[in-house]
Amino acid sequence: MILTEKKKKPDTVLNEKEDVFILGIETSCDDTCAAVVKNGKEILSNVISSQNEIHEKYGGVVPEVASRKHIEMIDVIIKEALDKADISSHKISAVAVTNRPGLLGSLLVGVGASKAFSYYNKIPLIAINHLKAHIFANFLADDRLVFDSEEKYISLIVSGGHSSLYIVNEGLDMKEIGHTVDDAVGEAFDKVARYLNLGYPGGPVIDRISRNANSGFVEFTRPMLESKDFNFSFSGIKTALIYRTKKFPELMNEKNIPDLAASFQAAAVDVLVQKTIKACEKFNINKVLVSGGVAANSKLRHEFIQASSKKNIKIYIPPPRLCMDNAAMVASLGYFEFKNGHLSDLDIDVYSRTDL
Ligand code: KG4
Ligand code: ZN
């Protein structure tokens, strides 16, 4: 077990020339993740144990089941991350862990393991905001991004729990400019998939079956597209799909399911892309960071690239494996916080919601 290795000597002085190895830990929802990242950029390992199969039969994440599974897996996954990185625990400079926002029971498992790792190895603990960490997937994926520059960005974070737009200022200071007023977009994908009997999680399967389907099969409304703010609403598209299929039951014939799914996806993506571009125009910012699980969606990626080339806006979207929850993004943000001296105490708590 990793927690029984020999103790290292206290080493509190940060030597600028020394390589920094951050162990990242992420358990905010239903993935048990650990990663080792060197100097904030180089991913030495990125291990993800998904619980999708367990939650599939319930059609969504069951929090109590998720935290029990994290308890079973956390030590194994941390050990695997260290082994894959070919590094021993006494070489790790600090441990960064998501402590907000997320499912409390799930967060507690990662935070508990991280506190033990930090205490035993006498290395700093760094509490990480999951949403900010998603943005660091962009940083990991693209060398042109430097977050301590004066550059400003519009950031769109789209996941199972969040759909928000931010302005990212110098030093990663974030100001929210819009959010969903009901379902997160990933949640809407998951609910529509459950209604169409496509399994859980719904986003990847809707994405896949939509690829050769007719997205103009049903013209769903684009909620809040014309609103003056930068808020979103996705439950209306989901409800419209349900009403439409109740009124015309033949729409639920097997052959129509891909076209229905593609029509829903097109409406959701259209709102996300158009509102993000509007935010760029209003705030005069021409760089966009897209992140979160839904950023893996092929239609969203395609539409962003199309829109950006017309408007001279630069879009950054990480590769799909870094869009989903993972601990490399946590470790990368951990490096940034470590360099800035933002260390945490061992009595940090967990929070289901949080302001940035
Ligand atoms: O960021 P993430 O892994 O976990 C949260 O922080 O929520 O996002 C998970 C969400 C799920 O709702 C899932 O259905 C959605 O991301 N998702 C997708 C795709 N891959 C994952 N949604 C649309 N298209 C995808 N390809
Ligand atoms: Zn996430």
Ligand 2 is an ion; residues with CB less than 5 A from it: 159, 325
Within a domain: 344 = no
Based on the domain organization, do 84 and 193 belong to the same domain?
no
Nearest CA to ligand 1 atom 10: 160
CB atoms within 10 A of CB 337: 22
Within a domain: 143 = no
HSE (CB half, 13 Å, CA atoms) of 218?
A: 24
Based on the domain organization, do 241 and 107 belong to the same domain?
no
- Phi and psi angles of residue 313, each rounded to the nearest 5 degrees, phi first: -115, 140
Burial 160-194 (b: 16+ CB within 10 A, else e): bbbbbbbbbeeebebeebbbbbbbbbbbbbbbbbb
* CB of residue 334 inside a 6 A radius of ligand 1: no
Amino acid (1-letter code) at residue 44: L
pLDDT digits (tens, 9 = 90+) for 18-54: 999 999 999 999 999 999 999 999 999 999 999 988 8
* CB of residue 201 inside a 6 A radius of ligand 1: yes
Residue 14 has what pLDDT?
56
Cα 200 to ligand 1 centroid, rounded to whole Å: 10
Within a domain: 80 = yes
Within a domain: 352 = no
Based on the domain organization, do 32 and 55 belong to the same domain?
yes
pLDDT digits (tens, 9 = 90+) for 206-216: 999 999 999 99
Residue 7 has what pLDDT?
35
Based on the domain organization, do 35 and 155 belong to the same domain?
no
Based on the domain organization, do 126 and 221 belong to the same domain?
no
Q: What is the mean pLDDT of residues 112-120?
A: 98
Query: What is the spatial distance between Cα 13 and Cα 160, in angstroms, rounded to a whole number?
Result: 40
Q: What is the mean pLDDT of the chain?
A: 93
pLDDT digits (tens, 9 = 90+) for 192-233: 999 999 998 999 999 999 999 999 999 999 999 989 899 999
pLDDT: which is higher, 17 or 277: 277
Strands 94-100 and 21-26, sheet pairing: parallel
> Could you give the number of structural domains in the chain?
2
Based on the domain organization, do 162 and 301 belong to the same domain?
yes
Based on the domain organization, do 202 and 298 belong to the same domain?
yes
Within a domain: 130 = yes
Provide the domain limits for residue 254.
149-317
Based on the domain organization, do 255 and 238 belong to the same domain?
yes
Atom of ligand 1 nearest to the CA of 162: 7
Place 13 in a pLDDT band, splitting at 50, 70 and 90.
very low
Within a domain: 283 = yes
Based on the domain organization, do 128 and 245 belong to the same domain?
no
* CB of residue 204 inside a 6 A radius of ligand 1: yes
Query: What is the spatial distance between Cα 338 and Cα 288, in angstroms, rounded to a whole number?
Result: 25
Residue 6 has what pLDDT?
33
pLDDT digits (tens, 9 = 90+) for 152-167: 999 999 999 999 999 9
Residue 3 has what pLDDT?
35
Based on the domain organization, do 83 and 154 belong to the same domain?
no
Q: Which ligand is nearest to the CA of 324?
A: 1
pLDDT: which is higher, 1 or 125: 125
pLDDT digits (tens, 9 = 90+) for 300-348: 999 999 999 999 999 999 999 999 999 999 999 999 999 999 999 999 9
Based on the domain organization, do 169 and 300 belong to the same domain?
yes
Based on the domain organization, do 164 and 282 belong to the same domain?
yes
Within a domain: 355 = no
Within a domain: 345 = no
Nearest CA to ligand 1 atom 1: 293
Query: What is the spatial distance between Cα 178 and Cα 156, in angstroms, rounded to a whole number?
Result: 9
Nearest CA to ligand 1 atom 7: 160
Q: Which ligand is nearest to the CA of 130?
A: 2
Residue 1 has what pLDDT?
34
What CATH number should be reported for the domain holding residue 163?
3.30.420.40
Nearest CA to ligand 1 atom 23: 203
